[in-house]
Amino acid sequence: MNIEETLIGIALVILGYGYFSKLLAKWSISGPIMFTAVGMVLSPLILGSYTFKINTETVQTVAQIALILVLFADASGINLSHLRKNRQWELPVRLLFVAMPISIVISILVAKVLFPDEPNLFIVLLALILAPTDAALGKAVVTDERITEKVRNTINVESGLNDGIVFPVFLAVVVMIATGRDGDGGGLGYVAQQITVGAVAGSIVGYLGAKASDFSLKHKWMEGAYRDLVPIALAVLAYYVAEPMGGNGYIAAFFGGLILGNTSEPMRKDVEHFTESEGEFLIMLSFLVFGLVLVPATVMYWDFRAFLFAILSLTLLRMLPVIISFGFIKMDLSTRLFIGWFGPRGIASILYILVAVEKIGDISEAKPLFAVMTLTIFLSILLHGLSAQPLVKRYSRSHPSDKKTV
């Protein structure tokens, strides 16, 4: 199958899913499920004869742009003043700073037992790549008002912030693997430079962009059609300002979004609007790339150990830390389990894999671990997508929503 045929296939699935998306949603067929499935159908795994290589320029470009925009958009939604003052952040903070670190540590320990011959840094990388959650895979949970706002907000905020929190650590491990292989002993110093310069460069771009946008809006100089385009341009600009200065562009994108969202309220709303519309296309395209490239490249390594770790990662290694993190606060076990289950692995994990492959280069020595990552994401796309609506119905019967802001 050539590129033109593949592009036609992509266009057809976007049209097909778009026309019938509400109908498919009633059967728990989510966008990520559909786009991943179509990617697999178009791949050499099922019908295709055209072989996509994991390091093709097209795939890396899609991953790069998607990750820039995802980090920028997620960071722009962090309201620092609410974080300090509003108690609705208590549960997400527990998930981010108690549950997630515990989950990462026990994932490393379990992976070391199951894969004792794999390099230690790659095992750490496995745990970090599978740490971020993706609310889009259980969209019915965060949009259904039958679920209390407190629970919906907790799941949504956690998934919006954990990729940005994990990313600097993920980057540090990737750099240590790459520089260690090259024999460069300055790995940690290089990581510090990447994070610091990236944060400063991104913050400056975000602040100046927010002020310029507010000034333009105040004087009514900006056409409405460009309000969604300005944040995209600022995200890309932050990336490419930081890179030549020795900073990390992804860190810059995150801090650019963070500063923009806390400096300009109109711009934060515009970023949210973009994420819900044009950004959705890029995210669905990433799931298609996942089915088209990552699944065929790793499926031959999906053995018993891979399935065991994947199931544990989606259940015990996620749910137990969530239960522990909520401590002695007033919350029944079913709510803790509900929040714990809806920690799906999706877009951030996919993009992190592609970035890791790009930065590290040859991953042949750790292909079984990359297969575990891919299998975990694949199972999450399927299981969380199919279980979202049934579990919402079941949970809401015993925990009716009062539809009041918590």
The domain limits of the chain are: 55-398
- Mean pLDDT for 82-97 is 75
DSSP tally for the chain: helices H, then strands E = 20, 0
Pick the range with the lowest mean pLDDT from 89-98, 144-153, 222-231: 222-231
How many angstroms separate the CA atoms of 60 and 293, rounded? 11
CB 399 within 8 A of CB 335: yes
How many angstroms separate the CA atoms of 304 and 107, rounded? 17
What are the tokens at 68? Answer: 């820039």
- Mean pLDDT for 343-357 is 89
Measured CA distances, 86 to 164, 251, 287, 306, 346 (Å)? 21, 26, 35, 41, 28
Check residues 135 and 5 and name the one with the higher pLDDT: 135
What are the tokens at 347? Answer: 């877009």
CB 167 within 8 A of CB 72: no
pLDDT at 39: 86
For the cut 60, the answer to whether the pLDDT of residue 312 exceeds it is: yes
Name the residue with tokens 């994991």.
Answer: 54
- Banded pLDDT at 51 (limits 50, 70, 90): very low
The residues near 273 (Cβ < 8 Å, ≥ 6 apart) are 227, 228
Name the residue with tokens 């110093």.
Answer: 189
- Mean pLDDT for 216-241 is 86
How many angstroms separate the CA atoms of 10 and 174, rounded? 32
CATH fold of 55-398? Na+/H+ antiporter like fold (1.20.1530)
Pick the range with the lowest mean pLDDT from 91-95, 126-130, 181-185: 181-185
CB 310 within 8 A of CB 376: yes
Burial call 161-182: b when 16+ CB within 10 Å, e when fewer: bbbbbbbbbbbbbbbbbbbeee
Quote the percentage of the chain above a pLDDT of 90: 36
- Banded pLDDT at 317 (limits 50, 70, 90): very high
Q: What is the pTM of this model?
A: 0.84
pLDDT at 221: 86
- Mean pLDDT for 301-305 is 96
Distance separating the N- and C-terminal Cα atoms of the chain: 52
pLDDT at 55: 46
- Mean pLDDT for 115-121 is 93
Quote the percentage of the chain above a pLDDT of 70: 88
For the cut 80, the answer to whether the pLDDT of residue 59 exceeds it is: no
pLDDT in tens, 159-194: 877 887 888 889 889 988 887 755 554 556 777 888
For the cut 90, the answer to whether the pLDDT of residue 335 exceeds it is: yes
Measured CA distances, 40 to 6, 35, 213, 304 (Å)? 12, 9, 42, 21
CB 124 within 8 A of CB 95: no
How many angstroms separate the CA atoms of 405 and 403, rounded? 7
Q: Is residue 56 helix, strand or coil?
A: coil
- Mean pLDDT for 304-323 is 97
For the cut 80, the answer to whether the pLDDT of residue 294 exceeds it is: yes
Average pLDDT of the chain, as a whole number: 84
pLDDT at 89: 75
How many angstroms separate the CA atoms of 329 and 340, rounded? 16
The residues near 339 (Cβ < 8 Å, ≥ 6 apart) are 91, 95, 151, 154, 155, 322
